[in-house]
Homo-oligomer: A and B are copies of this chain.
Amino acid sequence: MAQIKPRTLSGFMELLPHRQAQFDRMVEILRRTYSLYGFTGLDTPLIEASEVLLAKGGGETEKQIYRFTKGDTDLSLRFDLTVPLAKYVALHAGELSFPFRRFQIGKVYRGERAQRGRFREFYQADIDVIGDGKLDIVNEAEIPAIIYKAFTTLGLRRFQIRVNNRKVLNGLFALLGLEAHAGDVMRTIDKLEKIGPDKVLGILTEDFGVAPDTGRQLLDLLGTENPMEALAAYKGKHELLDQGISELETVVGYLSAFGVPADHFKVDLTIARGLDYYTGTVYETAMLDHPEIGSICSGGRYDNLAEYYTNKQLPGVGISIGLTRLFYVLEEQKYLNEDLLTAPADALILPMTEDLSPAVSLATVLREAGIRTQLYTENKKFKQKIGYADKLGIPYVIFLGEDEIAQGKAAVKDMTTGEQLTQTTAEAIVRIRDGLAARSTGTPIQDRG
């Protein structure tokens, strides 16, 4: 038969089973954390009509979009979870209750240039709170607090959530007479961490005609170690700036109230975020020991989620974890906790008799006790059967022969210690459960920093 060489597309993450188990455990923790804060899970289509998905039009993303026709229909794969959310809320507004708190963990598609650690299919894990007309600023502090909780539950320690406010930046731009170029200046500022202040200054002065002194003043202010103190000197000079400073103060105050320790967040006036639609608080999150990775979780406040679909004003605040990339980095940097179980089963039963009924009964009882159990019925040598459990990392192997069946017991081997005991089912359940509990105390991420 003519064969095709099997392959997975470049830029598409496909994990081996033990890695997949680690990934899934992280997703499960995010899901549970988001749920604990009262977010409802959504699952929107991966394909949307192009005219709907690209209603906003233009932008850098458009080139990256997977767009195609099927029959007469112009279709696109979603490139983020925000536009589908906007569509969903605009479409179903009458049936939703506001504030609408939703999480979505799903794949998105961007045809980026293939390179190590860049993915064309990747998971985003988003939370957003959408208001109807208004949305209290408390939400702008709760969102990063949820991310703090999510990351620490995953086991990440050395991270910092960086907070800024677009009104502060736009206020400063106005005050310095840069209003006409606000968008360009914002996008240039956004590159500060990547290209450094000298190059940013160069772009500001050469491309946008900013006076060198003004540019330097701006960059000094943005780069200051004590931004709240530095901003205090600017109070009362511009309305939008005042509003921004006040919002920033409020968010910082609530962040503490929400239990985010001082060393896990910081006001950073250089955080701009490229996207136009942010209007207030903006966030980025850095891994302190790996600044080269860039932000692992970003977002912000916006005033109009769905202006391309509806006249309804839908302000919101949201944040997104780039999960596939984060997982890739965690694996590469050896942050994944390899001690947690990733085997497909907790117990492997090896029936030693022709009649499988006792083995099936035992498997049923174990499963009812929540122990993931596999019956091994292949006709293989004993050594191969044990090797199977060993290679998969299945922690318990249970031998069931005539003798054990006659005694109403089973021979249960702890594959880690090698200890083999002949036990009743009840005894085996207790032992296996205790063993599993001891092996699942750790977090998926081990941050030794």
A residues touching B (Cβ–Cβ < 8 Å)? Answer: 1, 3-9, 12-17, 20-21, 23-24, 35-49, 51-52, 55, 66-71, 73, 75, 86-88, 90-92, 95-97, 99, 101-102, 107, 109, 111, 121, 131, 134-136, 138-139, 142, 254, 257-259, 306-311, 344-345, 348, 356-357, 360, 364, 367, 370-375, 377-379, 388, 391-392
CB <8 Å contact, A46 and B48: no
Q: Which residue of B lies closest to A92 (CB)?
A: B16
Chain B neighbourhood of A391, CB < 8 A: 97
Assess whether B41 is in contact with A21, with CB atoms less than 8 Å apart.
yes
For the complex, give the distance between the alpha carbons of A164 and B168 in Å: 71
A sample of 5 more A-B contacts (CB under 8 A), given A15-B43, A138-B377, A142-B375, is: A9-B47, A13-B45, A97-B391, A101-B374, A257-B357
Between A and B, 10 residue pairs with Cβ closer than 8 Å are: A3-B308, A4-B309, A6-B306, A20-B41, A21-B41, A35-B372, A97-B388, A136-B377, A257-B356, A257-B360
Contacts of A49 in B (CB 8 A): 7, 9
Partner of A309, one of B5, B35, B40: B5
- A51 touching B356 by the CB < 8 A rule? no
> Would B90 and A344 count as touching, CB distance under 8 A?
no
A356 vs B141: C-alpha distance when bound (angstroms) = 12
Give the distance to chain B from A234, nearest Cβ to Cβ, in Å: 27
> In this complex, what residue of B is CB-closest to A380?
B134
Report B-chain residues with C-beta under 8 Å of the C-beta of A43: 15, 20, 23-24
Closest to A114 in B: B71
Do A4 and B46 have beta carbons less than 8 Å apart? no
